[in-house]
Amino acid sequence: PGAVQGERTETMVEVGVLALQGAFEEHIEQLEQLGVAGRQVRTAAELEGIDGLIMPGGESSAMALVGEADGFWPDLKAFVQSGKPVWGTCAGMILLSDTALAQKRGGQALVGGLDVKVCRNYFGAQISSMEAAFDCSVDAEGAPTEKDSCTGVFIRAPAILEAGEGVQVMASLVAAPCAKAARQLANEERVTAVEPAAKKPKVVGEAREVIVAVRQGHILATAFHPELTEDLRWLKYFLGM
């Protein structure tokens, strides 16, 4: 990965964490470690006044169902489009993606904003969850760098298959899809014409290079769960966006 987009600005004072479902408490605990106030967000009113928003891991379909049922989805989309920093981890990354494969029957409401194509549950069921080391373009203090190494926790994690030209790839790794994802990918590759401009990871045997962290303007997304480790680099980076 190369240098990341954007100049670092003043640190945020209060960050919202989407709390419709999923692992939001861990994000709030890490925000507090860094002296930043964390606010649970479930309504449009709770989006008011925050400096940025974290969309955590969990079950993206369940989050979408709750958000739509409560009438909250349009407000969430408006916040993402407002230009304030937004970070999606795992399920949050799926929701921020413009296109998601392997959706459940009937489709899934996406917030969108990231010009990427993701595969839900690329890394398999929870029993297949793993830790993996990979190169990234954020150092241990959360500053942009050409290359550093970090470890990520992947729990039923998605993977980015393609990223548009305006998307900065911050981390990738080589991994084989789970059996279900492999079948869906094979079907997708048979019926879909690939856009020439899209950044398509290389295929290496059964495994392929997939993207696991990106930034596009004010949006950051990671397929893994930094909040489940003691590595605060991604949170520090986000707070400086």
Do the annotations mark residue 16 as ligand-binding?
no
Indicate which residue of 27, 136, 218, 225 is catalytic: 225
CA distance 109 to 227: 25
Considering just the CA atoms, what is the radius of gyration of the chain in Å? 17
Indicate which residue of 90, 119, 136, 178 is catalytic: 90
Q: Does the annotation count 227 as an active-site position?
A: yes
Strand pairing category for 52-55 and 37-41: unpaired
Do the annotations mark residue 162 as ligand-binding?
no
What secondary structure does DSSP assign to 138-189, as a single string? E-TTS-EEEEEEEEEEESS--EEEEE-TTPEEEEEEEEPPPHHHHHHHHHHH
CA distance 76 to 43: 9
Do the annotations mark residue 155 as ligand-binding?
yes
CA distance 151 to 222: 12
CA nearest neighbour of 234 among 174, 170, 158, 172: 170
CA distance 191 to 169: 26
Indicate which residue of 27, 119, 136, 227 is catalytic: 227
Beta pairing partners, 169: 214
Do the annotations mark residue 60 as ligand-binding?
yes
Residue listed under structure tokens 């993206």: 60
Do the annotations mark residue 59 as ligand-binding?
yes
How does DSSP classify residue 168?
Answer: E
Q: Does the annotation count 90 as an active-site position?
A: yes
Which tokens in the block code for residue 45?
Answer: 């009113």
Residues sharing a CB contact under 8 Å with residue 196, sequence separation 6 or more, in sequence order = none
Do the annotations mark residue 68 as ligand-binding?
no
**Which residue ranges are tagged as binding site for L-glutamine?**
58-60, 120, 155-156
**Which residue ranges are tagged as binding site?**
58-60, 120, 155-156
Active-site residue set: 90, 225, 227
